[in-house]
Amino acid sequence: MFNSMNYVYEVYKERSFSKAAANLYISQPSLSAAVKKVEEKIGAPIFDRSVSPIKLTDCGRHYIKAVEEIMDIQNQFETYMTDMNELKTGQIAIGGSNLFASYILPPIITRFTKKYPLVKVHLIEDNTPQLIDQLFHGSLDLVIDNSSFPDAIYQHHLYTKETLLLAVPKAFPSNKMSSGFRLTIEDILADRHLKEETPCVPLENFKKEPFIFLRSGNDTRSRADKICQAQSFSPNIILKLDQQVTAFNVCCYGMGITFVSDSLLKHMPNERDCFYYKVHGSHTGRNIYFYHKQTKYVTRAMEEFLKVAREQSEELMQIQNNS
């Protein structure tokens, strides 16, 4: 019924089939046939052809009103799409665990919203399994995580790399026998733990100390288990938690030793009541990625958010290299 509405509307504007046909670059017979087909579909004439110039019938007036409403909706949508592509409107939903939602994402989001203030950013904090579920079902556009998501389902974009270290309360006796391996927060900020000449502490030094681990299913827990297994070390685990930030805070209060990422330490560098140690093993290093579903349409907002995240990461690396 409205497939040929542009033809009908042009005749309405010109009040002439010949002028409308010239404007549309088609023959007058073809235009007349197209309009006639619309009238047959409606079941009533749109134009009164018995007068000159032609005029609308009562049915025609209602048809033209409907056409103008359709055109208005089309124009609104085209304006919206232009604004969205130019990031003058729109929204983006980002997910991350407590660590990323608290320390990694805020500076990226701040940078993004300063650049694109009209794009609304939703930040969702949850555990990794829940974030994966939300990403899979489309309620999240991007998730930042240090776990590996299936490549067959998710596209990944590298944000940065991180390394697991051992955090030990300063009051623990094992620090004395491990003094030659000890690192301070200043050493971590200067990436001394990444240098080959920095020695790795034997886990055996801490066999009498209590440990705080994350619960099974967490990537940090999986890596901690493998690091300990590689040294035939059985930690005395007294507490299991869900979040790395919580485990580190409990460690700082002197309750036990825990594995912590240098990313966390660099984003909360205030002096803590802990010493840090480099540990041996291929499982200490991992990547932090932004993920989105392979089949999801990547919006301009998503593209620009990833670009801003890369800029943020590169600047942080530059600062660390110059320190």
Range of the domain at 271: 161-286
Last residue of a domain, one of 30, 58, 83: 83
Is the peptide bond preceding residue 45 cis, with omega within 30 degrees of 0? no
pLDDT for 120? 94
Please report the DSSP string for 226-294 in residue order. HHHHHTT---EEEEEES-HHHHHHHHHTTS-BEEEEHHHHHHS-S--SEEEE---SGGGEEEEEEEEET
- In terms of domains, do 195 and 211 share one? yes
Geometric angle at alpha carbon 298, from 295 and 300, rounded to 5°: 170
In whole angstroms, give the CA distance from residue 271 to residue 46: 81
Last residue of a domain, one of 50, 83, 116: 83
- In terms of domains, do 144 and 192 share one? no
pLDDT for 191? 92
- Residue spans of the chain under pLDDT 50: none
C-beta separation of 129 from 159 below 8 A: no
In whole angstroms, give the CA distance from residue 99 to residue 249: 12
- In terms of domains, do 204 and 274 share one? yes
What tokens appear for 9 in the block?
């509307």
Q: Is 129 helix (H, G, I), strand (E, B) or coil?
A: helix
- In terms of domains, do 50 and 136 share one? no
Handedness of CA 81, 83, 87, 89 (dihedral sign): negative
pLDDT for 323? 59
Q: At residue 47, what is the residue type? A: F
- In terms of domains, do 95 and 140 share one? yes
Nearest to 38 by CA among 72, 58, 63, 18: 63
- In terms of domains, do 128 and 219 share one? no
Last residue of a domain, one of 54, 83, 112: 83
pLDDT for 90? 86
- In terms of domains, do 144 and 172 share one? no
- In terms of domains, do 154 and 294 share one? yes
**pLDDT per position as a tens digit, 34-85:** 999 999 999 999 999 999 999 999 999 999 999 999 998 988 888 788 778 8
- In terms of domains, do 270 and 292 share one? no
With 0.85 as the threshold, say if the pTM is over it.
Answer: no
DSSP at 153 = T
pLDDT for 251? 97
Q: What backbone phi and psi angles, to 5 degrees, belong to 274?
A: -140, 155
Q: What's 172's domain CATH number?
A: 3.40.190.10
Q: What's 45's domain CATH number?
A: 1.10.10.10
Q: What backbone phi and psi angles, to 5 degrees, belong to 260?
A: -140, 145
- In terms of domains, do 119 and 236 share one? no
**pLDDT per position as a tens digit, 142-184:** 999 999 999 999 999 999 999 999 999 999 999 999 999 999 9
Phi-psi region of 15 (alpha: psi -120 to 50; beta: other; left: phi over 0): left
- In terms of domains, do 116 and 15 share one? no
CA 134 from centroid of its chain's CA atoms: 12
Q: Is 117 helix (H, G, I), strand (E, B) or coil?
A: coil
- In terms of domains, do 250 and 271 share one? yes
Number of domains in the chain: 3
